Structure 1
Amino acid sequence: MPDRPLSEKIALVTGATRGIGAATAVALAAAGAHVIATGRTEGALEELDDAIKAVGGSATLVPLDMKDVDGIDRLGGALYERYGRLDVFVGNAGVLGPLTPLGHVFPKDWDDIVAVNLTANWRCVRSFDPLLRLSTTPRAVFVSSGAAHKARAYWGPYAITKAGLEVLARTWAAEHANANLKVNLFNPGPIATRMRAKAFPGEDPATLPSAEAAAAAIVPLCLPACEETGRLYDFPTKRFLDFQMPA
């Protein structure tokens, strides 16, 4: 069906319990994909399941803390046994971490944000790359941040991990430059989410785009028709930002 371009596709979304992750899971389901939704809170996953059913979609709910790297590996094995492939991967899970001078960051807080924002995504690459290569039109999207391109005071841990995530995604894209797998990044910009409210508590969320609007822009990056790779889609300007890919 033309309005369900992901029909019969398997899509995995991390951090799918709220915000951009939840909205993306619903949007992918509405586009026809069966969604594998991961998140830490079972109640929120059940609410997501209701929202997916409301758009005529289906989902498999996977309670998972992204710091559980063995759990990521188990999920990869389970997906292979059940579906034999993965068609779409959206790496959305992330944490803000402390907004404080670098010298004041506690080692545990540093370790936690690196574990979720960077290491977990590498573990997903490690576990899901073989599954994606078994798809005819594999697509991967990582949710980044404009902070990755700035050196704003007090945002060090978050910005550093998002910058690392961007290089991780671009490296993965370069490794598949001559293959079917397309890997891109998405910068949502200011969006009305809980994380944004935590970072900017005085901001009126009604003045910001919704998570659903961001999700609507992520879906095209997940479609078989998407031929872009190794690029960052900047939602605030509605355009791709160029990186220099190796010749």
Structure 2
Amino acid sequence: MAQQLISKLTKDFNNKLKISSNEKPNYYAKIFENTLWFPKLVGRTLSSNEASNKPIETKKESFEVNVPEIAAKPQEAKIEVPIEDNPAPVKIEVEKKASSSLVKVDTSFTNLIQKYNENWKLETIPGYQDYQGEIDIIFFGLDEIEESEFPDFLPLSMIESDQDIMGRMIKAMKISSGRFIRVPFIKKDAKEFIFSCCAHFKPSLLVPLGAAATKLCLDKQVRLANVHGVFHSIQTEVDGKTQVIETMPLFHPKLLEVNESMKKTAWADMQKAIKFLTS
């Protein structure tokens, strides 16, 4: 009776799933992996379907990078970055290129934000209480905001956060609260918004994130692969006042989330920014 039942079950499995002959060993191995039959099946070659879904185990090692303190209290920060075996040493060079573009903006930042939303107040920016009249760096373009999606609060931030990869990168740079600001890509009058923001907060460095932010800041069509980590001097005129802003494009953090091999490149660029700010 037991043998007839097993034969019937086997026949039902085959008829119901209609599996091909080369997939049978994998299927039965899964069904009977807790039985004495399993050792006879594990040695069989995987089918192409199963092989493509089998996770590849990779060995990850890390190296330590000493980051100079940008804040008031000097200390070392150790950054762990997954890399390949026997990495070549990273040589950090600050390459600078001049830009002849002149960006003119007629509205001050405090007046501009009221045009977007009357509820937007500088005092509502997280970390604004630590702002002392100038900052080290602006990170521009992590998020995009459509005109129909304006929040009720001013969507800027001046505090550390480890909730996303950009926040962890900023935290690793050891920049104090109030010494940096994250500015989204607000699509309505985007150029006016970011350069008015620069005129108000007076950053030493503007870092556009990704191709769209870089194209807007440099005011020309460029390939990010050719300009990332390179410093550009941009002259601006905001509300009648001129200002020269140093700009260094960076790959968008979302790219790093889907392509971890780019993390090493991003960290090398971030170290250029650190060297620039501490020199």
Give the TM-score normalised by structure 2: 0.31
Higher helix share: 1
Higher strand share: 2
Structure ranking higher on relative contact order (CA contacts 8 Å, 6+ apart)? 2
Give the TM-score normalised by structure 1: 0.34
Question: Considering only CA atoms, is the larger Rg found in Structure 1 or Structure 2?
Answer: 2
